[in-house]
Structure 1
Amino acid sequence: MAVVLCLGLGLAACSSSDDGGGGTAAPGLGAARGGGTLTVAVASKPLCLDPQNNSSNGNTAISRQLVSSLTDQDPATGKIVPWLASKFEVGASATEFTFTLRPGATFSDGAPVDAAAVRANFDTIVRLGAVDAVAASYLTSYQGTTVVDSHTAKVTFSRPNAQFLQATSTAALGLLSPASLALAPEERCQGRGLAGAGPFVLKEAVQGTEIRLTRRADYAWGSPVWKHQGAAYLDGIDYKVVPESGVRVGSLLSGQVDTVIGVDARDERRLAAGGATELSRPVPGITYNLTANTERPLLADASVRKALTKGIDRATIVRTLLSDHYRPATSILTSSTPAYTDLSADLAHDPAGARALLDAAGWRPGGDGIRTRDGVRLAPTLIYPGVDTASRNVLQLVQSQLREIGVDVQLSGLPLNQLAPDQDAGRYDLLWFGLTRADPDVLSTVFATTTKNRAHLPAGNPLDTLLAKQSETLDAAERAALVGQAQRQIVQEAYSLPVYEQAQSVAFAGRVQAVALDGSAQPAFFDAWLAN
């Protein structure tokens, strides 16, 4: 089987099967059948198994299997559909959202998925907002949840919240049992006592090497987006931590694992030659980018930030190091995100223009070509996940390109347990990351001063105003216009330097059937089954 390349825009999934990655078997393999454990190689041990506490792609790839959400997002259309809720109603002002819950759904510890559990989840997320601002940002202006009756929950906000319905489809707002919510965040992250209402439950987490999930036999409240109802086909999923991409691919081709999450572009031809299948789709949300800490002396000057933007040759990066799955960034949002605006003209490679900006700002080339001003070298520190070899390769090329304009970027690959504290404390000039979400309010999560504020902007700045307005605007065209203005503000002021659009890729052996990618491009294994 050849590697499948997916280049489509929007939210359509791409798959090697003809049904978008659902439950149809390949020719000659017969009907789907239960049994067997799927072994999956991942790049790193998740820092946190609690989806409400850490929403990085690596964590969510595992924790998504443990929780169900009130709604789901159809990956083919982007439509929000009921899941744990049998129906939902949005008030005219989008300050009230009423969810009618499906009867019979329970958490893996036996507690019912009822309106009181919904209230406990949202109240706890808001109370622990400082632990991880992603889930809390989805509940901005949250006033409370009213238990109308055991199967009806009314969620109320003090201001219109245009993004909340889509947020209820994400793993970050996946529901946990009340007993799990009562645990300390550290215990939840380690998986001890973590009980969701998902199709799989956590069996064991072997420190640093392996995470084992088992099928929940009584699961009967699957998403209508999925291809079958009832329990999952697989008996379990065994995630093995294999840091090196080449070793992950080798393990797949040799039969040591069945599936690989996260395929480096350099390994795609090797997969094709070895008979593996690759499932890929564009990732909605924030592009992989370098966000500038505008409070740091080197990047407080917009001229310097704009020069860095002009010094990056995005097309060469994608052509040289990535593949046809990826695209050069043309905005801070990826082109598969609703309300994306094409700002490619603002991101054109222009080294002469970059040099002119730095000259005008008083940065003069030294003997080694690196610019200085008042005895200070233009050598910003860039932090990124040290385990991510693909990112390191990209950043080394960015480093080389920026040296051409006289900037000596200092790359600092940090272990994950150090990266998060340094991000939160602002100990960086440039921060490398991307963030997945199929709603443009992902901009608020990253740039609003009330949430992560990765650019360290002052409260009440013009971008804050735009982000607040779009979050309260119900008219789709008006909201898209505001989101477009916000993108322009971020790109033209160079609060962030977009580099490329990410694609999520999952590779698997021939016996693995019906793997899918959900609305956030996360692997979905509910319909997956093993042919032999």
Structure 2
Amino acid sequence: MKRWSVIIAAMAVTIACITGCGAAIDTGAVKTEGASLNLQPRENLEDGGSLTTVLAEVSAQWNTFHADGNAYTLALWRWYNPVLAYFSPDGQYAPNPDYLTDVRTEVVGRDTVVTYTINPKAFFNDGTPIDYRAFVETWRTSRGIDDRYIVSSTDGYSQIASVTRGADDREVVVRFDGVYAWPDGLFNVVLHPKAADPDVYNEGYVRKPHPEWGAGPFTIASYDADNGTVVFERNPKWWGKPGKLDRRIFRQMESQAALNAFQNGEIDATGVAAKDARARALTMNGIDIRTAAAPQQSLLVLNLDTPILSDRRVREAVLSAVDRETLSRIRFTGLNYTEELPGSLSLYPFQPGYEDNLSDVLSYDPAKAEELLDRSGWTEGGDGIRSKDGRRLSLELPNIGDDTTTQNLSRALQAILKKVGVDLAVRQRPSADFSQVVVNKEFDVLLLGFSSSDPFGMAYFCQVWCMGSQLNPAGAGSPELDAQIRAMSRIGDPMAQIKAGNELEREAFAQFSNLPLFNGPSMVAVKEGLANYGAGQFYVGPIEDIGWEK
């Protein structure tokens, strides 16, 4: 559906694995190969019990297709709406047989054609059959033709020529305009046809999750918008295997509060990919720490709408002054973990085709940063801060949430930029303000995170770099770059598209709007006995099989 979703900058280091994804001891360098989920068959699990974790934000917008949706929106959506596709930790696609009994992909003539056969038992909770109409409306609202829909991503859907009824209502034929490289990334979740009215699509899900338009093993039992609490219970209308859990609870909570709640036994899992959190977790009894590579990016974003940053040379100066090695050391202190500095916002270093597309464009060079600022007319004052035409070179960074690691990163960035004469003012904001800060662009400089919902990174190049994209909060891009991105996206061979995308990403980085900082590990501390949950990389599996061992 969509590869990128925004998250709070430090990778939600003390927030449990948002995608629903063995006992840990401190034995040296952290290993991130594969997943750590304590995979167990259903017969090994208890019937009953609850699972409580936290989210940084329970966003007001519940429509995961909407532009205001983020990773936290998708995490909740998957617990009460149709999830048509599973992914293994390394990103292999498999249809969910409770919804799709067959998926056939072929090239017919010069076009990719995907035929979906829908399980005849599949119905939305309001009794509406899940059939070709759900696919039609998902495509129609996501293809980018009708600007009444404020859509998160048109990638892939914009390249579909038609979605039609097949042999009957339960067969769907999706024909692309040409060969499409990433069909497994589409229709992994679908929209109820009743949500396809533009007003309903845009506003109807605001503080209204509409469980009657959902389907699956669980449905919403209660939603407290003011306190940020969502409770799911077994869905009596579900036709598949029942959920092992009685209740699944999400609570909005700041990072430090989440760690305290985990230590006190109030929640059952939390992220601990930060020094203090991991150190505390290692002192606790009866827990596992599950670790894997994190399909997430942390990056520094510059707001091009800020007058000072509208000057490309100033942006280049700011990013050239950023010491990523220092920031990476701060981020991973106490984790026994190291990684190479990332050079792409499209692929991860553990994926085929990854290249460092940044190093030829930008490197840490404070002397160059000072030269660029000199040439732009910014002169150093008596306090070391530069000014121009009576205006100080001052930028604002909102620090979102109370996570100690994020606060340390903000302070370090403040000190790093001061060395070249940039005054970085850090303003504290609560986690609940996250969507507001991003959507309303209430920042000059922002530490942001991206989270991947599937492994097809190059398919979603436009989300990060196209003009007007919700996941391009920098406001970078140009009509020329948009045209190049569209041309790249039409390359049908996956590896050929990745090669072209790597070349194009170098050009995109030369706008000096986004700077990848680090990826990092996923570390999730859980109570012992929790099965089919943890650090899963790209893993998406049956939520009905999450539960507690007997």
TM score, norm. by length of structure 1: 0.84
Distance change in 2, residues 1:526/1:212 (3 Å): same
Alpha-carbon offset, residue 180 of structure 1: 4.7
Whether 2:165 is the aligned partner of 1:152: answer no
Contact 1:504/1:521, CA 8 A, preserved across alignment: no
SS of equivalent residue, structure 2 residue 231:
strand
Instruction: Flag the structure with more relative contact order, 1 or 2, with Cα contacts below 8 A and sequence separation at least 6.
Output: 2
Distance change in 2, residues 1:345/1:141 (3 Å): closer
Contact 2:107/2:179, CA 8 A, preserved across alignment: no
Distance change in 2, residues 1:213/1:234 (3 Å): same
Q: How far apart in 2 are the matches of 1:69 and 1:486?
A: 33
Contact 1:175/1:196, CA 8 A, preserved across alignment: no
- Alignment-derived partner of residue 225 in structure 1: none
For 1:380, which of 374, 395, 403 is the aligned residue? Answer: 395
SS of equivalent residue, structure 1 residue 203:
strand
Alpha-carbon offset, residue 444 of structure 1: 1.0
- Alignment-derived partner of residue 226 in structure 1: none
For 2:234, which of 215, 229, 233 is the aligned residue? Answer: 215
For 2:294, which of 283, 289, 301 is the aligned residue? Answer: 283
My pick for the range that moved more, 53-62 or 175-184, is: 175-184
SS of equivalent residue, structure 2 residue 301:
strand
Contact 1:290/1:433, CA 8 A, preserved across alignment: yes
Calculate the aligned-residue CA RMSD, in Å: 3.2
My pick for the range that moved more, 134-143 or 62-71, is: 134-143
Listed one character per residue, the Cα deviations across residues 428-477 of structure 1 (whole Å, up to 9, x for unaligned) are 4334322222222333112112633433245323x324322221111223
Listed one character per residue, the Cα deviations across residues 394-422 of structure 1 (whole Å, up to 9, x for unaligned) are 22211211111111123344456765455
Q: How far apart in 1 are the matches of 2:38 and 2:181?
A: 30
Q: Which amino acid aligns with 1:394?
A: L
Identity of aligned residues (%): 22
SS of equivalent residue, structure 1 residue 134:
coil
Q: How far apart in 1 are the matches of 2:112 and 2:376?
A: 47
For 1:468, which of 452, 466, 486 is the aligned residue? Answer: 486
SS of equivalent residue, structure 1 residue 50:
coil
Whether 2:115 is the aligned partner of 1:98: answer yes
Q: How far apart in 2 are the matches of 1:335 and 1:427?
A: 31
Distance change in 2, residues 1:24/1:164 (3 Å): closer
Q: Which amino acid aligns with 1:88?
A: R
Alpha-carbon offset, residue 162 of structure 1: 3.0
My pick for the range that moved more, 399-408 or 264-273, is: 264-273
Q: Which runs of 5+ in 1 are unaligned?
A: 222-229
Q: How far apart in 2 are the matches of 1:419 and 1:145?
A: 36
Alpha-carbon offset, residue 205 of structure 1: 0.4
My pick for the range that moved more, 380-389 or 472-481, is: 380-389
SS of equivalent residue, structure 1 residue 154:
strand
My pick for the range that moved more, 251-260 or 123-132, is: 123-132
Whether 2:291 is the aligned partner of 1:272: answer no
Q: Which runs of 5+ in 2 are unaligned?
A: 1-22
Q: How far apart in 2 are the matches of 1:509 and 1:407?
A: 45
Distance change in 2, residues 1:502/1:522 (3 Å): farther
Whether 2:273 is the aligned partner of 1:255: answer no
Whether 2:140 is the aligned partner of 1:123: answer yes
Alpha-carbon offset, residue 218 of structure 1: 5.7
- Alignment-derived partner of residue 14 in structure 1: 35
The equivalences for 1:135-146 within 5 A come to 135-146=153-164
Whether 2:103 is the aligned partner of 1:87: answer yes
For 1:56, which of 70, 73, 83 is the aligned residue? Answer: 70
Whether 2:412 is the aligned partner of 1:397: answer yes
SS of equivalent residue, structure 1 residue 280:
strand
For 1:315, which of 304, 320, 325 is the aligned residue? Answer: 325
My pick for the range that moved more, 483-492 or 135-144, is: 135-144
SS of equivalent residue, structure 2 residue 394:
coil
Q: Which amino acid aligns with 2:174?
A: V
Q: How many residues align?
A: 505
Alpha-carbon offset, residue 181 of structure 1: 4.5
Whether 2:354 is the aligned partner of 1:340: answer yes
SS of equivalent residue, structure 1 residue 526:
helix
Whether 2:246 is the aligned partner of 1:235: answer yes
The equivalences for 1:432-443 within 5 A come to 432-437=447-452, 438=455, 439-443=457-461
My pick for the range that moved more, 207-216 or 176-185, is: 176-185
Alpha-carbon offset, residue 142 of structure 1: 4.4
Whether 2:324 is the aligned partner of 1:305: answer no
SS of equivalent residue, structure 2 residue 76:
helix
Contact 2:379/2:387, CA 8 A, preserved across alignment: yes
TM score, norm. by length of structure 2: 0.81
Listed one character per residue, the Cα deviations across residues 332-388 of structure 1 (whole Å, up to 9, x for unaligned) are 344245543124635543222322332333322111111122333222333464566
Q: How far apart in 1 are the matches of 2:217 and 2:261?
A: 27
- Alignment-derived partner of residue 40 in structure 1: 53
